[in-house]
Amino acid sequence: MIVILLGAPGSGKGTQSERLTAALDLVHISSGDLFRDHLGRGTPLGELARTYMDAGALVPDEVTIRMIADRLDRPDVHGKGRVLFDGFPRTVAQADALDALLGEIGAGNVGAAVFIDVSETTVVERMAGRGRSDDNPDVIRTRLAAFRRDTEPVIGFYRAQGKLVAVDGEGTVDDVFERIMAGLVACE
């Protein structure tokens, strides 16, 4: 089972990932968390990613795809095919690359892409309550623009394949989780 979580910055991808990985026994792969891990360890990849993340821009596809390929090679994932992707793919080129990578490691196909649909007003409020280093108003504006320009086409990519599960992301964490679970059951 390969599930993708799509949504604007602050839409609740990380929050719902915790619940979904526990409920569905999936390995959580968050590209943002992987970049932040590299940053924390001061690796060259982390230093490269920092310039983009601080500005709220997407890290280039080739860098992101290589990092995900390395992650998929680890034994908890390789050949097992039980993954929840959070924040990846974020461009159509990344979505194409993911299909190829999953084929290479024999992990099956993407089963569902869940789009957590939340208003910009709500995501700005939610991020204000969190305060990560890329949560200041200017950077949030850039992240939202990157979402509209580069990631909204990914929603269309999965819709065209009949894999899109769009859920209303407003309301409590429990409400949204229940909608996602119901959407995944209906999609099977």
Binding site for ligand AP5 (CB under 6 A): 7, 9-15, 31-32, 35, 52-53, 56-59, 64, 87-88, 90, 94, 126-127, 129-130, 143, 172-173, 176
Q: How far is the CB of 141 from ligand AP5 (least distance, A)?
A: 12
**One of 90, 126, 163, 179 is an active-site residue; which one?**
90
59: partner contacted, choices Mg ion, ligand AP5, none (Cβ within 5-8 A by kind)? ligand AP5
Cα–Cα dist 144/131, whole Å = 16
Q: How far is the CB of 79 from Mg ion (least distance, A)?
A: 27
Structural contact between residues 143 and 134, judged by C-beta atoms closer than 8 angstroms: yes
Cα–Cα dist 90/85, whole Å = 11
Got the DSSP string for 134-177?
A: T-SHHHHHHHHHHIIIIIHHHHHHHHHTT-EEEEE--S-HHHHH
- Specify whether 143 is catalytic: yes
**One of 71, 126, 143, 179 is an active-site residue; which one?**
143
Q: Find where tokens 């026994």 sit.
A: 25
- Specify whether 179 is catalytic: no
Q: How far is the CB of 4 from ligand AP5 (least distance, A)?
A: 11
Nearer to ligand AP5 by Cβ, of 89 and 188: the residue is 89
Residue 14 binding Mg ion, by CB under 5 A: yes
**One of 13, 36, 71, 163 is an active-site residue; which one?**
13
Cα–Cα dist 79/65, whole Å = 18
Q: Which helix (H) or strand (E) element contains residue 29?
A: strand 27-30
Residues of the shown chain interacting with Mg ion in the complex, contacts defined by CB under 5 A: 13-14
Active site residues: 13, 90, 130, 132, 143
